[in-house]
């Protein structure tokens, strides 16, 4: 059993993923925020999904199926289709065994709502919350752990 992470998506696969991400989180009607794909988070989503090899394999299979559907429409690959044809192809894909994994939406939301541009739009800081501006009280872990040490092990030795 290999523990190697899957290879990252190719540039073309990331471009193919973008319209699907836009379908999950579309551009705001007033244009204040871009859609998820337009924001350029396909690489972030890929990086997150690669931590779950089975999920990544399903995503790659979906992207390959998009290319096969595009060939049936007379294009060499999905990214060569016009935006309207891409939307139709994504809709067609959703009714096949190679539909995009539903969990992809969760990864998309996670990557989108941590993006600095989105955080700034909502008035949130784009830096870690500590230590700047937040005092962290020193703690005495030794006194907290002392009762545990005194009690000794509570498990049965094998």
Does any domain span residue 146?
no
Does any domain span residue 86?
yes
The CA-based angle 32-36-40, given to 5 degrees, is 100
pTM for this predicted structure: 0.77
Does any domain span residue 5?
no
Give the count of domains, the chain: 1
Share of the chain residues as helix, strand and coil, in percent rounded to the nearest 5:
55, 0, 45
Give per-residue pLDDT as tens, 98-144.
Answer: 999 999 999 999 999 999 999 999 998 887 666 676 666 778 788 88
Query: Does residue 40 contact residue 76 with C-beta atoms inside 8 Å?
Result: no
Euclidean distance between CA atoms 65 and 100, whole angstroms: 10
Range of the domain at 82: 11-128
Dihedral-angle region of residue 74 (phi above 0 means left; psi in -120 to 50 means alpha; beta otherwise): left
Give per-residue pLDDT as tens, 64-104.
Answer: 999 999 999 999 999 999 999 999 999 999 999 999 999 99
């Amino acid at each position: 059993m290999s523990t190697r992470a899957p290879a990252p998506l190719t540039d073309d696969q990331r471009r193919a993923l973008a319209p699907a991400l836009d379908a999950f989180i579309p551009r705001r009607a007033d244009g204040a925020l871009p859609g998820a794909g337009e924001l350029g988070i396909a690489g972030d989503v890929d990086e997150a999904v690669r931590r779950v090899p089975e999920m990544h394999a399903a995503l790659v299979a979906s992207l390959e199926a998009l290319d096969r559907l595009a060939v049936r429409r007379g294009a060499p690959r999905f990214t060569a289709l016009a935006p309207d044809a891409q939307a139709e192809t994504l809709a067609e894909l959703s009714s096949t065994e190679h539909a995009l994994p539903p969990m992809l939406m969760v990864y998309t939301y996670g990557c989108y709502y941590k993006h600095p541009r989105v955080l700034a739009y909502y008035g949130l800081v784009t830096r870690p919350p500590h230590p700047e501006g937040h005092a962290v009280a020193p703690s005495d872990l030794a006194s907290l752990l002392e009762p545990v040490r005194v009690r000794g092990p509570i498990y049965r030795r094998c």
